[in-house]
Structure 1
Amino acid sequence: MSRDSAQVRQIELPDRDLLYTLKRSHRRKTIGLKVSEDGLTVTLPARVSVAEADAVVREKAGWVIDRLEKRQARTAPALRGVDGERVGWLGKDLRLSVLTHDKARTTVTRTEAEVIVHVDRHLDPSDSRKAVLAALKRWRKAEALALMTPKLEAYARALGAKRPKVSVREQKARWGSCSSDGSIRMNARLIAYPEALIDYVCAHEACHLLVMDHSSRFHALLDGLMPDQHRRRRALRETRPAGGAF
């Protein structure tokens, strides 16, 4: 690769693919990483190998993904917890309806078109918005756990694997993770994505119950569960979630 040329590379991280643009510079003494509206760009000194670029991207993956997601979030309005905003749900935008009641407890219900939050009418506007956002996050985690747990259990049965212990967190760098003890942790933010993409992440993590790495054996298992896994993985990378960022 000449100093003036650039190439797009793709590396596979634990639960997603990451594309980056690789450039060379005779002026650089160290490897440079830059996140912009065009994504991640890695600039290599003249005599540094491409393998070292991949290694640095893997090492800095958490930082890179955090920056990429923050940049993406700026393109989607952040939820403020007020009536009329949009909440992502399985690839759809649901209207946020904020209603007041005489109870201290904030409650959340969902219909086909709305997410309805009832909040204490005695709260001032700032505290009301905070209560709404906190309730939405609790609701998102509970809904994600209820949706994903049976999917993961079904994939585990299909593989002949032990039933996993499933938990849900709000994570920035991973869609999911599987521990050697059979525990699977899923990302609550997935609930905003189409269900077919959630299925892909669940199948991916279930395969890690048997194979912890991303070897050919792992991909053979995943192909058996989901023959179109590559298409879904690409769609997950390219899809912007519905609703506001929160």
Structure 2
Amino acid sequence: MKKLCTIELESGTLDYLLDIGKRSNAYLNIRDGVVTVRLPLSGKPSDAERLIRSHEKWIRDKLGSHSERSRLPKSFEDGEVLSLLGRKYTLRIAESAEYREPETEGDTLTVYVAKTMTRADAERLFSRYVYGICEKCVMKAFETYTQRLGLRPKKITFKKMTSRWGSCSSNGSISINVGVVCFEQECIDYVVIHELCHLKYMDHSENFWRLVSTCCPDYKRLRERMKH
């Protein structure tokens, strides 16, 4: 039995794949940013949680490089560097008489903060701006590839994830890491295709990758691109 699960840790939320089957020991591994806990038939979800908690630091160390790939702003400071759709920008925070949509010019992304706004308000509006770009690009990919693959999720959600770019639950729901907005559209397309294919194959078998390649023959290059 394979099932996508979520656990709340001191360091944040972690998605992981729980695999219960014929084996003598329990163990966990990380591959392509995916944490998998494998238990014997006698194992319970609580056993998986204990195993994860006892290895939390090791897991976070292993996944650390993944989270660094997502160059969304961490502190909302003037001069911070971030990435949007594969391009790096320097964040500039400018005071304005009233709120204006952020603007890009060359390698600069300017966020206009109204005099009456608090810092928290400005951060919230900027996050909404980034989420809007992400949603537009992701939904564009879903519109294209749900038709091409003949696979449609029951629900699509957006999250901030630390361990993966997307996830597909056994009930047919797909979650996309908002951090994909840092990458080019072709990378976003790959993530969407990857998760749609999990609606048919909840593993990374040859059949799964064969299905991915029907829509994304260059998936190996894109997967490597998102590792750096």
Q: TM-score range by the shorter chain?
A: 0.5 to 0.7
Structure 1 residue 136: Cα displacement: 2.6
Structure 1 residue 220: Cα displacement: 1.4
> The residue matched to 1:173 in structure 2 has which SS?
coil
What amino acid maps onto 1:66 in structure 2? R
Alignment of 1:205-216 (within 5 A): 205-216=195-206
Larger Rg: 1
Structure 1 residue 78: Cα displacement: 6.1
Q: Which residue of the partner structure matches residue 18 of structure 2?
A: none
Q: Which residue of the partner structure matches residue 92 of structure 2?
A: 97
> The residue matched to 2:226 in structure 1 has which SS?
helix
Structure 1 residue 224: Cα displacement: 1.0
Gaps of 5+ in 2: 5-23, 31-35, 38-51
Percent identity between matched residues is 27
What amino acid maps onto 1:111 in structure 2? T
Q: Is residue 2:114 matched to residue 1:120?
A: yes
Alignment of 1:79-228 (within 5 A): 79-103=74-98, 107-113=100-106, 114-122=108-116, 127-128=118-119, 130-162=120-152, 165-228=155-218
Q: Evaluate the alpha carbon distance shift between residue 141 and residue 174 of structure 1 in structure 2; reply closer, same or farther with a 3 A threshold.
A: same
Distance 1:221 1:147 in 2: 22
Distance 2:26 2:79 in 1: 45
Quick check: 130-139 or 77-86, which moved more?
77-86
What amino acid maps onto 2:28 in structure 1? A
Q: TM-score, normalised by structure 1?
A: 0.61
- 1:141-171: per-residue Cα shift (whole Å, max 9, x none)? 2211111012023111111123653221111
Q: Is residue 2:61 matched to residue 1:67?
A: yes
User: For the aligned residues, what is the CA RMSD?
Assistant: 3.2
> The residue matched to 1:150 in structure 2 has which SS?
helix
- 1:43-98: per-residue Cα shift (whole Å, max 9, x none)? xxxxxxxx97973543359765533455674xx89643233332211121123232
Q: TM-score, normalised by structure 2?
A: 0.65
